[in-house]
Amino acid sequence: MPNRRQFLQAGGLALAGLALPTSLFDLDRANAGGQPGRSSGTVTIRMRSDDRGARVWFDPVGVRVPPGATIRWLLDANVHSATAYHPANGYAPRIPPDAPPWDSGLMTVPGQAFAVQLDVPGMYDYFCAPHELAGMAGRIVVAARGTRASEVVVPGPPPEGLRAASAASLAVLPDIARILREGAVTIANA
């Protein structure tokens, strides 16, 4: 039977493993030769807030993943959602036309998580429902390593009658070329 020290060490190692970001390059290697539609790894995006709740953001705000990767949103604090810009969620689409939309619903308990698997290559923009007007949005680019920005499928102009993304949310979204170059983009001074 493990003693208290061994138990605490094992728990600490397990927590440390959860805190480590998944390497995008490991996701690419896992996807090489993988079967379409099969998950090739998981990337965690944290849903953050300052102590007073005045600043809210996704961390990272931009990320590139290979097709088949799973994106997992993890609630750190406050009340947040991970919601695709899509007519099913009341907005003009900002995800690939063949990609299914998602909405986590309101997440209220720190440590709560929500995940989706993204198989269709292209640009996916999403937001936090209670904080969209405050600019809490993020961008995922599903593309193989070596893809150029000009090759990424970007949704066209919003159809008439659908709500567009707020100017505040669009302002925080990193450029596709930067995401492809850096792999993950965080908000400075967050």
The string of pLDDT tens digits covering residues 74-128 is 999 999 999 999 999 999 999 999 999 999 999 999 999 999 999 999 999 999 9
Strand partners, 45: 73
Q: Calculate what percentage of the chain has a pLDDT beyond 90.
A: 68
Q: What is the mean pLDDT of residues 47-52?
A: 91
Q: What are the CA-CA distances from residue 61 to residues 50, 125, 174 (Å)?
A: 16, 10, 7
Domains of the chain, earliest start first? 19-185 (2.60.40.420)
What is the number of other CB atoms lying within 10 angstroms of the CB of residue 60?
23
Q: In what order do the strands lie in the sheet with 137-142?
A: 83-84, 122-127, 137-142, 62-65, 184-185
Q: Which of 86-90, 162-166, 186-190 shows the lowest per-residue confidence on average (mean pLDDT)?
A: 186-190
> Which residue in 85, 53, 58, 90 sits closest to 72, CA to CA?
58
Confidence band of 22 (pLDDT split at 50, 70, 90)? very low
3-state secondary structure the chain: CCCHHHHHHHHHHHHHHHHCCCCHHHHHHHHCCCCCCCCCCEEEEEEEECCCCCCEEEECCEEEECCCEEEEEEECCCCECCEECCHHHCECCCCCCCCCCCECCCECCCCCEEEEEECCCEEEEEECHHHHHHCCEEEEEECCCCCCHHHCCCCCCCCCCCECCCHHHHHHCCCHHHHHHHCEECCCCC
> Cα(167)–Cα(133) distance, rounded to whole angstroms?
8
At 25 the pLDDT is 39
Average confidence score pLDDT of the chain: 82
> Cα(121)–Cα(141) distance, rounded to whole angstroms?
7
pLDDT of residue 36 exceeding 50:
no
pLDDT of residue 62 exceeding 80:
yes
Confidence band of 153 (pLDDT split at 50, 70, 90)? confident
Q: What is the mean pLDDT of residues 161-179?
A: 95
At 51 the pLDDT is 85
Q: Calculate what percentage of the chain has a pLDDT beyond 70.
A: 77
At 40 the pLDDT is 52
At 101 the pLDDT is 97
pLDDT of residue 63 exceeding 50:
yes
pLDDT for 132-149, tens place per residue? 999 999 999 999 999 999
pLDDT of residue 43 exceeding 60:
yes
